[in-house]
Structure 1
Amino acid sequence: MQKNIINDLLWRGLIQNKVPGIENQVKKPTTIYTGFDPTSDSLHLGNLLPIIVLIHFQKMGHQSLILIGEATGFIGDPSEKDESRIFLKREKLHDNAKSIKNQIIRLIKDHSEGIELLNNINWIKNLYFLEFIREIGKFFTVNYLMSKDSVKKRMKNNKNGISFTEFSYSLIQGYDFLYLNEVKNCQIQIGGSDQWGNITTGIELIKRKTGKKVYGFTFPLITKPNGEKFGKSHNGNNIWLDKNKTSPYKFYQFFMNVSDENVERYIKIYTFLSKEVIDNLILNHKKDPSKRILQKKLAFYLTEWVHGYESSKTIMKISNILFNEINLELLDEKYFMMIYENIPHMFLSYIEFKKGIFILDILKHSGFFTSKSESYRAMKANSILLNKKIIKENIILTKNNIICKKYIIFQFGKKEFFILKID
């Protein structure tokens, strides 16, 4: 408890807003919680942050609660949403909750002592509607709830306003905090910056109903390259923790491609490395940024945590083959199999191959381009490589293009790869 965890989290960039007085609260053993609504069957990159914060607290001897919001997911959080959510069926939410729970268990397996998993369906299912709006709703005016950013933005950006269902979300999440405070003596709630309104509603509810002082803080949202937040109900360009939704290779490459400007921030946010180790890594990185010391450390660290050591070692080998000047002709088939299993790929029978197939016909399956004309322009701009050699014409592929008896590797620009397997 001697280490000032709030100062450490501030240094790491893991606190954006906080309730005054929290510094004194964490000088003694404290219970802290965060929650995840199961609106998808997988967590994503942004969801790692609250888990990381809870592990920091757990390492300092505090107790942590992770709440799976099967009940709140049934309603839908309007935060950062311009349109009403599509309601999921109860069975789907239940399946998603089980899937997310299993992911969380894997992520905290080395820190499970002091971290408890809960599901708010277990207490909210017993609430009576009239009792809830009488005993909980009486503590808040409509004006108070209308002042929350999640409501104000919806009223401003959507001509249909906000449904009563979503309008009630903040009260239900506030009730979660009240319940956990009463049953688990929980004093702190954390969440992304978009959750500040929901967190402060819970703090106010506990204060008005019980007179107790509780706390909360938020961390900054991690955004996609296009500036959008990662979200479980957004599929485009999300970096998922489920390997079937985002391959370990794509997960690894996301961090390898982080800019120098962001990688110093990410190494503090996403790792448990000490300040001394991180400062030394940053110093060495700045001596020669082309070596991408921080990106490599971050990519391996997180891929190992999320997907396991063996997977991260495999991805490192694949990246070394694809991004360095290695003669593909000298590689054994086991390396091509690793590449095939981890990057976008296509299978083609040798009978189909012998009929004659043009490069552009293969490229339309690669995901590089949205049209054949776009891929043709890229070819004319010398941006298409076949087995690491520039291709300038839309030739028919022949057996001379095959390496290791059955593979052809296509590349677009410096970072995009696709492999064809012929058998």
Structure 2
Amino acid sequence: MDILQELRYRGLIHQLTDEEGLTKKLSEEPVVLYAGFDPTADSLHIGHLLPILCLKRFQMAGHLPVALVGGGTGLIGDPSGRSTERSLNTSDVVEEWTDKLRGQLSQFLDFESTVNPARMANNYSWLGELNVITFLRDIGKNFSVNYMLAKDSVDSRLSNGISFTEFSYMILQAYDFFRMNSDINCSLQVGGSDQWGNITAGLELIGKSTGNKAFGLTMPLVIKSDGTKFGKTAGGAVWLDAEKTSPYQFYQFWINTDDNDVVTFLKYFTFLTREQIAELEEQVKLSPEKREAQRVLARVMTELVHGEDAALSAIKISEVLFSGNVETLSGREIEEAFKDVPSTELSGNEEIGLVDLLIAVKAAPSKRQARQDIESGAVSLNGIKVSDVEKVLQSSDRMEGRYIVIRRGKRNYYLAKFV
């Protein structure tokens, strides 16, 4: 596989230093490459997927990826892509988050391969040893202030102000590349387009310090066709941690992809073949209402991040909510499916009348309205329509012994949990 041709087909090359030289090197030997991930939260999010999957694509092509977790740079804060200063986290917090990110990265890269195993590194192992004299004399002297001010990541912050702490981030990341190059012969750094200035700073340091030849590659910033930022929802970021963004929510994010974006995302994020993508692209043109491309994208991405069982469960939940047959859901699936709907905890020992239940979960504003809704057939319990305003609910009416799913009208769901 010509990895650069594959990346170009998928639209994953935004900037590249010395394409001819890198093409030659990649064809001659397995290349060590890396991408960095700073622990700015306790989980990676889908904005990190492009560099993660880029490393995976290189490994599939026979090269040697390194996932560098920024235990050191995470204590400083990258100004790239930000208009304001980051809040600094304590070393304990950064260390905890670093461990969590290492675990997540191991889901995507093969560290057990006997041919070209992936590796993990933590830049705190060398940045933590630096003293200020060494930093200023041996590293800082290689960078002019004018050179640093010209970088977008710094220039864009000058109007709002940038601390010396974040101003120095570029040099620290450049030193990362230098150390990776010196220690393990790493000759390629990949990252998002906002990392171009940091990557080329590393090339500058390597060239001045050792004369070695190294390369940089950035991927495009993912922007949806409507101009909004990719990876954000009304509830915030879409995380890779199932506790922060459930597999069902993750699946829903992808299945709601716009027709104008779905083929691009299939190229960016999946490992489907060109033929498979071309077939789905044709279906988008001929039968967009079937949303087959979105279904494939959502299934493949959920399986990639959360596993096959989680993907199948997410599909099941989606189908159940569409049909209304919620009685087939397990307790875990109920919790996942109705995570974002109004939820009310009630005493597990009490019987409760249907009218009172609708009031308790705020499905109706008054008993009069509750009775009208029941009599008109607008209320369903656990997927079954009810019309008896005098109905009293027993423990036997609860799913899994503790859940009652109330639907009022076609789309308004409420969850009662008996504890």
TM-score (normalised: structure 2): 0.83
Letter in 1 for 2:137: R
- Distance in structure 2 (CA, Å) of the matches to 1:314 and 1:358: 29
The answer on 1:311 being equivalent to 2:307 is: no
Flag the structure with larger Rg: 2
Q: Could you tell me which residue of structure 1 aligns to residue 252 of structure 2?
A: 253
Letter in 1 for 2:416: L
Say which is worse superposed, 108-117 or 13-22, in terms of deviation: 108-117
CA offset digits 1:374-414 (Å, max 9, x no partner) = xx9xxx9xxx985699x9xxx999649x7758644356998
Q: Could you tell me which residue of structure 1 aligns to residue 292 of structure 2?
A: 293
1:144-183 residue pairs with structure 2 within 5 A?
144-156=147-159, 158=160, 161-183=161-183
Q: Secondary structure at the match of 1:117?
A: strand
CA contact (8 A) 2:111 2:118 kept: no
Q: Could you tell me which residue of structure 2 aligns to residue 45 of structure 1?
A: 46
1:135 to partner: Cα distance: 1.1
1:417 to partner: Cα distance: 5.2
Letter in 1 for 2:124: I
Q: Could you tell me which residue of structure 2 aligns to residue 10 of structure 1?
A: 8
1:154 to partner: Cα distance: 1.1
Q: Could you tell me which residue of structure 1 aligns to residue 320 of structure 2?
A: 321
Q: Secondary structure at the match of 1:155?
A: coil
The answer on 1:203 being equivalent to 2:203 is: yes
- Distance in structure 1 (CA, Å) of the matches to 2:143 and 2:223: 33
CA offset digits 1:267-315 (Å, max 9, x no partner) = 1111111112211222234331222111111111111121111111111
CA offset digits 1:97-121 (Å, max 9, x no partner) = 1111111112224875421101111
CA contact (8 A) 1:151 1:167 kept: yes
Q: Could you tell me which residue of structure 2 aligns to residue 141 of structure 1?
A: 144
CA contact (8 A) 2:344 2:360 kept: no
CA contact (8 A) 1:189 1:199 kept: yes
Q: Could you tell me which residue of structure 2 aligns to residue 92 of structure 1?
A: 93
Assess, with a 3 A threshold, how the Cα gap between structure 1 residues 420 and 339 changes in structure 2: closer, same or farther: farther
- Distance in structure 1 (CA, Å) of the matches to 2:84 and 2:409: 37
Q: Secondary structure at the match of 1:70?
A: coil
CA contact (8 A) 1:177 1:189 kept: yes
CA offset digits 1:201-252 (Å, max 9, x no partner) = 1111111222222111111233588834659xx9951010111111111001
The answer on 1:349 being equivalent to 2:347 is: yes
Identity %: 37
Assess, with a 3 A threshold, how the Cα gap between structure 1 residues 339 and 134 changes in structure 2: closer, same or farther: same
Say which is worse superposed, 175-184 or 269-278, in terms of deviation: 269-278
Q: Secondary structure at the match of 1:126?
A: coil
Assess, with a 3 A threshold, how the Cα gap between structure 1 residues 236 and 199 changes in structure 2: closer, same or farther: farther
Assess, with a 3 A threshold, how the Cα gap between structure 1 residues 412 and 193 changes in structure 2: closer, same or farther: farther
Q: Secondary structure at the match of 1:33?
A: strand
**Which ranges of structure 2 fall in alignment gaps of 5 or more residues?**
none
CA RMSD after TM alignment: 3.4
Letter in 1 for 2:334: Y
- Distance in structure 1 (CA, Å) of the matches to 2:349 and 2:197: 61
CA contact (8 A) 1:46 1:221 kept: no
1:197 to partner: Cα distance: 0.8
Letter in 2 for 1:213: K
1:189 to partner: Cα distance: 0.5
- Distance in structure 1 (CA, Å) of the matches to 2:40 and 2:283: 41
From 327, 330, 334, the equivalent of 1:340 is 334
CA contact (8 A) 2:317 2:333 kept: yes
- Distance in structure 2 (CA, Å) of the matches to 1:193 and 1:411: 45
Q: Could you tell me which residue of structure 2 aligns to residue 71 of structure 1?
A: 72
- Distance in structure 1 (CA, Å) of the matches to 2:14 and 2:37: 19
1:65 to partner: Cα distance: 0.9
Assess, with a 3 A threshold, how the Cα gap between structure 1 residues 327 and 411 changes in structure 2: closer, same or farther: closer
1:81 to partner: Cα distance: 1.5
Letter in 2 for 1:74: L
CA contact (8 A) 2:111 2:117 kept: no
1:361 to partner: Cα distance: 6.0
Q: Secondary structure at the match of 1:409?
A: strand
1:97-108 residue pairs with structure 2 within 5 A?
97-108=98-109
Letter in 1 for 2:237: N
**Which ranges of structure 1 fall in alignment gaps of 5 or more residues?**
365-371
- Distance in structure 1 (CA, Å) of the matches to 2:13 and 2:390: 56
- Distance in structure 2 (CA, Å) of the matches to 1:108 and 1:45: 16
Assess, with a 3 A threshold, how the Cα gap between structure 1 residues 88 and 306 changes in structure 2: closer, same or farther: same
Q: Secondary structure at the match of 1:136?
A: helix
Letter in 1 for 2:144: T
Assess, with a 3 A threshold, how the Cα gap between structure 1 residues 314 and 85 changes in structure 2: closer, same or farther: same
CA contact (8 A) 2:56 2:108 kept: no
1:29-44 residue pairs with structure 2 within 5 A?
29=29, 30-44=31-45
Say which is worse superposed, 281-290 or 96-105, in terms of deviation: 281-290
Assess, with a 3 A threshold, how the Cα gap between structure 1 residues 123 and 15 changes in structure 2: closer, same or farther: same
CA contact (8 A) 1:318 1:338 kept: no
CA contact (8 A) 1:223 1:230 kept: no
- Give the aligned length: 394
TM-score (normalised: structure 1): 0.83
The answer on 1:284 being equivalent to 2:283 is: yes
- Distance in structure 2 (CA, Å) of the matches to 1:39 and 1:301: 27
CA offset digits 1:50-100 (Å, max 9, x no partner) = 111111111111111110010000111011111111111101111101111
1:28 to partner: Cα distance: 2.4
1:380-395 residue pairs with structure 2 within 5 A?
none
CA contact (8 A) 1:303 1:311 kept: yes
- Distance in structure 2 (CA, Å) of the matches to 1:240 and 1:226: 21
Say which is worse superposed, 20-29 or 294-303, in terms of deviation: 20-29
